[in-house]
A = this chain, B = another copy of it.
Amino acid sequence: VVPKVGIIGASGYTGAELLRLCASHPDLEVVVATGDSQAGTPVAELYPSLAAAYPGTCFDRWDDGLADGLDVAFLGLPHGASQTVVPGLLDRGVGHVVDLAADFRLKDAALYPQWYGEPHGSPDLLAQAVYGLPELFRSEIGHARLIAAPGCYVTSASLALAPLLREGLIEPTGIVVDAASGASGAGRPPKANTTFCTVDEDFTAYGVLDHRHTPEIEQNLSTVAGSPVQVLFTPHLAPMNRGILATCYARPTSALSTGEARDALHAAYDDEPFVVVRDTPPSTKATLGSNTAHVTAYADARTGWIVCFAALDNLVKGASGQAVQCANLALGLPETTGLPLVGMYP
């Protein structure tokens, strides 16, 4: 029997990407797709791209009863909404809940008021939630009931820096993460700062000093480093649909060559199906549509800086693909089932 999937919040871009990935996943069957603002709208009308696989499906309005019988629920809701929905899903016996929002990602409940402006609504569930970044925390994900899948910036910065911090090769403070993202990270609803004429042919920074995903990067890296890591994170918006590139700067703890830095990446990732270690700067376009991240590192003898890079598709490895990867693990399926290894190029 193919596991039954519900996508709650399916009308946004991460939801549509889950629908795309599930359409070619041999072991997941979408039986529920909700989107309250689009309730009653055919999937094929909002996303003509999905017409050939979902000819008769309409977005449902969310209702607790829709949870019954679900083996997996993916949540593609705006921040804050998952906190109110997840307890009910677990109570109703949904097998595995994979949340794509930040609601269950931070372990320290005190960080929510600091970075998100209000206290957490279900702080008791934070301890239960597993952080869904398989390359760093795979052993906890198998059979987990509540998985908080991380987003694009955090995944890219974490994959680039974690091996070097885990091995004690770079200092845990003074780290800079300078990243650029495509516009799909801002979601589907029209806003003044995401119109075509605003974004096209422009490059600009935003969220300077206080972007919400900062504490999550620090949490992951502190966990692998075993000591507090501090990061300044500067996101930029690039004129493209998809893709994240994180360019990270850190100081070595002692003399470190480019070769040694890359060795640490190879040791961490050579057995990973979804991470490629490169000898050249990774390009976001090489990851388009795939669940694969590309990473590399350089050491500058002249200035003493270590520079490491990670590129990925923000809607796949940085969102919906990662969620499916976690679901595969939770369900006991082969981790790569139904997930694209290769990017679409050009």
Contacts and interface: CB of A to CB of B under 8 A. Distances in A.
A283 B195 contact: no
Contacts of A276: 44, 48, 51-52
B23 A288 contact: no
Contacts of A222: none
A47 interface: yes
Interface in A196-218: 196-206, 208-209
Q: How many copies does the complex hold?
A: 4
Interface stretch (A134-142, A289-297, A325-333): A289-297
A55 to B, nearest CB: 8
Nearest to A48: B286
A281 B249 CA distance: 21
Interface string A172-201: 011010101011100010111011111111
Given A49-B290, A202-B283, A284-B204, A247 B230 contact: no
A19 B283 CA distance: 19
Interface in A220-273: 230-232, 234, 236, 238-243, 245, 247, 249, 273
A13 B287 CA distance: 16
A110 interface: no
A50 interface: yes
Contacts of A287: 49
A137 to B, nearest CB: 21
Nearest to A294: B48
A182 B274 CA distance: 29
Given A236-B180, A276-B51, A202 B243 contact: yes
A250 to B, nearest CB: 11
A47 B228 CA distance: 38
A239 B50 CA distance: 21
Among A54, A240, A285, A286: residue with most chain B CB under 10 A? A285
B203 A200 contact: no
A127 interface: no
Interface residues of A, number: 89
Contacts of A20: 342-345
Given A194-B197, A230-B303, A239-B240, A49 B343 contact: yes
Given A178-B247, A199-B196, A345 B52 contact: no
A236 to B, nearest CB: 7
Contacts of A173: 303
10 contacts: A20-B344, A48-B286, A49-B344, A51-B278, A180-B203, A180-B236, A180-B238, A183-B195, A209-B307, A231-B303
Interface of A: 13, 16, 19-20, 23-24, 44, 47-54, 173-174, 176, 178, 180, 182-184, 188, 190-192, 194-206, 208-209, 230-232, 234, 236, 238-243, 245, 247, 249, 273-274, 276, 278, 280-290, 292, 294, 298, 300, 302-305, 307, 309, 311, 340-346
Given A194-B196, A209-B307, A238-B238, 13 more contacts: A16-B345, A24-B24, A49-B344, A52-B341, A174-B303, A188-B195, A201-B240, A202-B240, A205-B247, A206-B281, A232-B303, A236-B247, A238-B239
List of 10 A-B pairs having minimum Cβ-Cβ separation, nearest first: A49-B343, A202-B285, A197-B346, A204-B283, A48-B286, A190-B190, A49-B345, A196-B199, A205-B281, A52-B341
